[in-house]
Amino acid sequence: MKEKVEFMPDKRTWHPSPLLGQITLVTSLNSDGTSNVAPKRWISMMAFSPPLLALGCNLGHWTGRNILERKEFVVNIPGAELAEQAWKVHELPHPRPVEAAGLTPIPAIKVKPPRIEECRAHLECVLDQHLAYGQELVILGRIVAGSIDAEALQAEDPYSYLRLVVFLEGHRYGIVEQAHQLPSQPERRTGA
């Protein structure tokens, strides 16, 4: 039997981290209508119908306040080539427009906050609901539009093209460089 070692539930102490968080750049609108960009790593799909994602944020962050007040945001998915640049965005002073991060805003399809041209994919969201735990905020966003680089759809392995970036711990990140296919499985039956 393998030895198991207990560790504290505080994510900040995990080394190595058994949970990964995809690194994204979230755009929202400030009260004066200018764009705001922030790196976020606590994000996950929550439901298929309606398509919902959860975003972890802090109530003191401009992103959290902007989303609660204006009820729209875009999750921009960078490739590995933007990992270091995305990481440094949080060091920029506020207000933090997309251009201040050296990135290019482009219009979204259905919401007012911009997409980021250099990112590989984009999920446009409207606020569905939120939960607050002190200063910690869990935002449920309903995905109302999505877009992706056409090259990703033409690639033999789209994940190899996307080169998604995941937060591990501290200043460490990982890159999804290829997808693997499981052998064919019989269809699962639902119900009893």
What are 162-174's pLDDT values in tens digits? 999 999 888 889 9
pLDDT reported for residue 190: 60
Cβ within 8 Å of residue 141, ≥6 positions away: 52, 53, 54, 55, 67, 73, 75, 123, 125, 126, 127, 128
For tokens 């439901």, the residue is 47
Which domains, and CATH codes, for the chain? 20-175 (2.30.110.10)
Residue 53 pairs with which residues in a beta bridge?
45, 141
Residue 90: both structure tokens together: 């949080």
Which pTM value belongs to this model?
Answer: 0.92
More confident of the two residues 75 and 94: 75
Residues 116-128 have a mean pLDDT of 98
pLDDT of 6-15, one tens digit each?
A: 989 988 888 8
pLDDT of 126-166, one tens digit each?
A: 999 999 999 999 999 999 999 999 999 999 999 999 999 99
Residue 192, pLDDT > 70, answer no
Residue 187, pLDDT > 90, answer no
pLDDT reported for residue 139: 98
Residues 65-79 have a mean pLDDT of 98
Residues 40-45 have a mean pLDDT of 95
Q: How many CA atoms lie within 13 Å of 56's alpha carbon, on the beta-carbon side?
A: 10
Q: Which helix (H) or strand (E) holds 88?
A: helix 83-88
pLDDT reported for residue 140: 98
pLDDT reported for residue 14: 86
CB neighbours of residue 81 within 10 Å: 12
pLDDT reported for residue 17: 86
Residue 188, pLDDT > 90, answer no
Residue 114, pLDDT > 60, answer yes
Residues 65-76 have a mean pLDDT of 98
